[in-house]
Amino acid sequence: MSEEKVIFEKIDENAKLPERQHPNDAGYDLYSSENLVLKVGEIKSVGTGLRAKLPENIEGQIRPRSGLSLSGITVMNSPGTIDPGYRGEIKVIMGNLLGEDKKIKKGDRIAQIVFAPIRHPEITWGRLDETDRGDGGFGSTGVR
């Protein structure tokens, strides 16, 4: 059992504690605390009814659920970051990219949160070495 602890506070009666569906899942499902319709082409901030206290060395990454993404519903700023010092409601910026209007109900799984270590490397100026790849990117190795 981990000694690291994330503490959640319920700020809405409809809030549900994040949970994993399988013991080895990386992500914990986040649930909507509100009813709404996400129209095609629309972006909305969806409440979870939760606030959190994360350890100083852990961030929460808000990511899409693959099943929703397959139907065009995604997290727009993926991954969204929950910093250890943030104490506001955890909200998910959701977008409906295609298909049809999507009803989201209280208790629906809308995203997942993955906890990741925070690193603070030294930031400095310097000269970079050359590599075989160089500045090749954005399809420079082909598209297939």
Task: Examine residue 129 and state whether it is found in any structural domain, yes or no.
Answer: no
Task: Examine residue 134 and state whether it is found in any structural domain, yes or no.
Answer: no
Average pLDDT of every residue of the chain: 94
The tally of domains found in the chain comes to 1
Strand locations in the chain (E): 7-10, 28-31, 36-38, 43-47, 50-53, 58-63, 73-75, 80-82, 91-96, 102-104, 109-117
Identify the pLDDT of residue 108: 97
Under the banding of pLDDT at 50, 70 and 90, the label for residue 133 is confident
48-69: per-residue pLDDT in tens?
Answer: 999 999 999 999 999 999 999 9
Identify the pLDDT of residue 2: 57
**Distance between CA 20 and CA 65 in Å, rounded?**
12
Under the banding of pLDDT at 50, 70 and 90, the label for residue 138 is confident
Task: Examine residue 138 and state whether it is found in any structural domain, yes or no.
Answer: no
Task: Examine residue 125 and state whether it is found in any structural domain, yes or no.
Answer: no
DSSP single-letter state for residue 69 = H
- Domain of residue 70: give its range: 8-117
CATH number at residue 56: 2.70.40.10
Task: Examine residue 22 and state whether it is found in any structural domain, yes or no.
Answer: yes
- C-alpha 22: how far from its chain's center? 18
Task: Examine residue 124 and state whether it is found in any structural domain, yes or no.
Answer: no
Identify the pLDDT of residue 65: 95
Instruction: Report the 10 Å Cβ neighbour count for 90.
Output: 23
Identify the pLDDT of residue 142: 76
**Distance between CA 126 and CA 128 in Å, rounded?**
7
66-119: per-residue pLDDT in tens?
Answer: 999 999 999 999 999 999 999 999 999 999 999 899 999 999 999 999 999 999
